[in-house]
Amino acid sequence: MIREALADRIVHGYLKPGDPLDETSLAAEFGVSRTPIREALRQLETNGLALSRPHRGAIVTRLSAVQLDETFVVMAELEALSARLCATALAGEALHRLQSLHDGGAEAARAGDVAAYRLHNERFHAAIYAGSGNAFLQETALAVRRRLAPFRNLQFEAFRRPELSHREHAVIVDAIIAGDGDKAATAMRDHILIVREAVDLVELAEARP
C-alpha cells in the first residue's frame, strides 16, 4: 500500500525528480515503523522510480541527460510501434472509442488544467498500447513509461504544453483512423521526442536563480 501510494505521487507529478524520500517523515505519515518504508523504497528503486544514495537516503529518480536520451529513444520506438499496429488492428467501434477518448481531453487542454490533462494523457497512451493487439508490447511499453513517469510529468509545466500535446495526439489519432501506420508511427515518435525536449526546458528554467 505504501509503495503504491508513493508510486502514485511520483507518476502523477506530486513528487519530482530529486525530491527526497525521507524514511522518518514517511514512517510518521503512514503510521508505521521504518521497516515497511525501507521495503517500499526498495521496491520503488527496483521499478526505477527511486534512487538510493549511500548514507544520504533515497530520492525520486534523477537521470543524467544521456540516460534520459537513451530511455526516451526506447520509449519513442515502443510508442511508435504501438501506434503503427493500432492503425492496422483497430476498426469500427474501436476507432470511435479512440476518437472519443481523444476528444475527452480537449477541455482540460484548452483550460491548461495540468492535473486533469495528466490523467487524460495516461489513459490515451494506455489505449494506444492496448490497441496494438500485442500483449508483450503493451506490458513493455507500460513498464518503460512508468520508469519515465517523473520526467514525463515535468513536460506539463512547460508553457501551453497540455494544449500542444493534445494537438500532437490529434495527428496520431487521425493517422490511426486513416489506417496509415507509417504516419501514425512517425507522429507518435515525434510526439515523444518533443516531450523529451520539453523536460529539458522545464529543468533549465527550474535551475535558473
User: Does this chain's domain 2-60 share its CATH topology with 65-207?
Assistant: no
Count Cβ neighbours within 10 Å for each residue of 13-44 and write b for 16 or more, e otherwise: bebbbebebebeebbeeeeeeeeebeebbebb
The pTM (predicted TM-score) of the whole model is 0.78
Residue 209, pLDDT score:
47
Edge-to-edge strands of the sheet including 57-60? 20-21, 57-60, 50-53
Question: 3-state SS string over the chain?
Answer: CHHHHHHHHHHCCCCCCCCEECHHHHHHHHCCCHHHHHHHHHHHHHCCCEEEECCCEEEECCCCHHHHHHHHHHHHHHHHHHHHHHHHHCCCHHHHHHHHHHHCCHHHHHHCCHHHHHHHHHHHHHHHHHHCCCHHHHHHHHHHHHHHHHHHHHHHHCCCHHHHHHHHHHHHHHHHHCCCHHHHHHHHHHHHHHHHHHHHHHHHHHHCC
The pLDDT tens digits of the residues spanning 24-71 come to 999 999 999 999 999 999 988 887 888 888 888 899 987 778 888 898
In the chain, what are the domain boundaries? 2-60, 65-207
In sequence order, the β-bridge partners of residue 57 are: 53
Q: How far apart are CA 60 and CA 75, in angstroms?
A: 20
Q: Minimal CA–CA distance to 98: which of 137, 118, 127? A: 127
Q: What is the pLDDT of residue 203?
A: 59
Calculate the average pLDDT of the chain.
Answer: 89
Q: Which fold has domain 2-60?
A: Arc Repressor Mutant, subunit A (1.10.10)
Q: Which residue has the cell 544520504?
A: 56
CATH superfamily of domain region 65-207: GntR ligand-binding domain-like (1.20.120.530)
Residue 206 has a pLDDT of 54
Q: What is the mean pLDDT of residues 20-27?
A: 94
pLDDT in tens, 170-190: 999 999 999 999 999 999 999
CA angle 93, 183, 129 (to 5 degrees): 50
Residues 152/114, Cβ–Cβ less than 8 Å: no
Banded model confidence at residue 115, pLDDT cuts 50, 70, 90: confident
- Of residues 155 and 21, which shows the higher confidence score? 21
Rounded CA-CA distance 7/10 in Å is 5
Can you give the pLDDT at residue 47? 77
Phi, psi of 110, deg, nearest 5: -65, -40
What average pLDDT does this structure show over 79-95?
A: 97
